[in-house]
Structure 1
Amino acid sequence: MVEFRPADAGDAEQVAGLHADSWRRHYRGAFADAFLDGELVAERVGVWSKRLGDPEGTATIVAEIDGEFVGFVHVMFDLDPVWGSLVDNLHVDHRQQRGGIGRQLLARAARAVVEQARGDAMYLWVLEQNVAAQQFYIAVGAKHVETAPVAPPGGDPARLNGEPNGFRMAWPDAASFGSA
């Protein structure tokens, strides 16, 4: 059975490890290999230690099965005046994908937006190459509303076409999340 709880500063290493693993699996070719194969975990630990140490204006929810960390979602409230709150990260352990954990984490993020943000809209960015994630977001009611270049950390300077494209996926009303 999956259990969900708010993340705290002590979760930074596990969050960072899952985040790095997900990037290595899904963003090769968009992010520089040197970045993905280098000190990515340490860099992510620094990011997540800061985020979880000072969570004002955000919510981070972790998922666990039998005490084992299997996923998390991080939402930043009211980041954009048009699109609302940013689901900045959603990652599920690759061994647990397609089991409903991602949907449940997003539902909890949507609930946090409704309860804590000024507006009910939420959105996220997904890289164009991550087709499986795009299909998942559409299945849970998101609409692809914009395409724009994304400057990834460790962007690959050898890319002939410059920055990878990101798709903005949006839910105008987080209260109706998953009803599509």
Structure 2
Amino acid sequence: MTGVRFRPARSPADVEPIAALHADNWRRTYRGAYSDAFLDGELLADRRVAWSARLADPGPAATTIADHDGQLVGFVHVVFGTDPRWGSLLYNLHVVHDRRRTGIGRQLLRHAALAVDAGARGRGMFLWVLEQNTAAQRFYLACGATATGIEPVPPPGGDPSRLVGSPRCVRMVWPEVGPLIGA
């Protein structure tokens, strides 16, 4: 992980690399849950719109970028206090495919926990991960999360035609972010 630096995402210049990584990871991981037409067609444009909005008006949220030699190698986005029981929503954590298993994901998770610790009322954090994404589930469990429930996947952009069948997602929870930041 030498040479990786972490910084807040704030600039409009951050939108394109974040959207591209987000789309690439969805294409690699969500095939079979999201329609091929969506993944191979409008996904990148959809992610550009979403990230343009998030970075233009972040609201009670934080986005951190992992950068290596000027290239995005990962990012994390957390929205503070979205659920009274579970806490802040870890909305996205993505690492460039060939940089996985290098510690970047753990560091991004730590940055999300630090942001929750500093910016949210509660200290709990949770996320939703597709049931078929067992690699991500193993990662989060290894990082101390607990699987606490399964729900239907909401269709991207509210459009049910973007789903294949009735995919489900698993809620992963950290009741307290302290262990993620070493506190």
Q: What TM-score results when the alignment is normalised by the length of structure 2?
A: 0.92
Distance 1:157 1:87, change over 3 A: closer
Matching residue of 1:12: 15
Partner of 2:58: 55
Equivalent position of 1:169 in the other structure: 172
From the two aligned structures, give the one with the greater helix fraction. 2
User: Which residues of structure 1 form unaligned runs of 5+?
Assistant: none
Give the gaps of 5 or more residues in structure 2. Answer: none
TM-score (norm: length of structure 1): 0.94
Q: 1:141 aligns with which of 137, 140, 144?
A: 144
1:99 maps to 2:102: yes
- Residues 131 and 158 (structure 1 numbering): CA distance in 2 closer, same or farther, change over 3 Å? closer
Q: Could you tell me which amino acid in structure 1 is paired with residue 28 of structure 2?
A: R
Distance 1:165 1:40 in 2: 20
- Which one of 85, 88, 94 corresponds to residue 85 of structure 1? 88
Residue 44 (str. 1) matches residue 39 (str. 2) = no
**C-alpha RMSD over aligned residues:** 1.5
* Alignment check: 8 A CA contact 1:31 1:155 kept: no
Separation in 2, partners of 1:68, 1:85: 28
Question: 1:3 maps to which residue?
Answer: 5
Partner SS, residue 141 of structure 1 = coil
Q: Residue type of the partner of 1:2?
A: V
Question: Structure 1: which 4+ aligned runs deviate by more than 4 Å?
Answer: 154-159
Contact 1:63 1:105 in 2 (8 A): yes
CA deviation vs aligned residue, 1:23-45 (integer Å, no higher than 9, x gap): 00000000011000002111110
8 Å Cα contact 1:7/1:61 also seen in 2: yes
Deviations 1:104-156 (A, max 9, x none): 00000001001100000000000010000000000000000111111232656
Note the alpha carbon deviations across 1:75-119, whole angstroms, 9 max, x for none. Answer: 000000100000000000001000000000000000100110000
- Which of 9, 12, 30 pairs up with 1:27? 30
Letter in 1 for 2:6: F
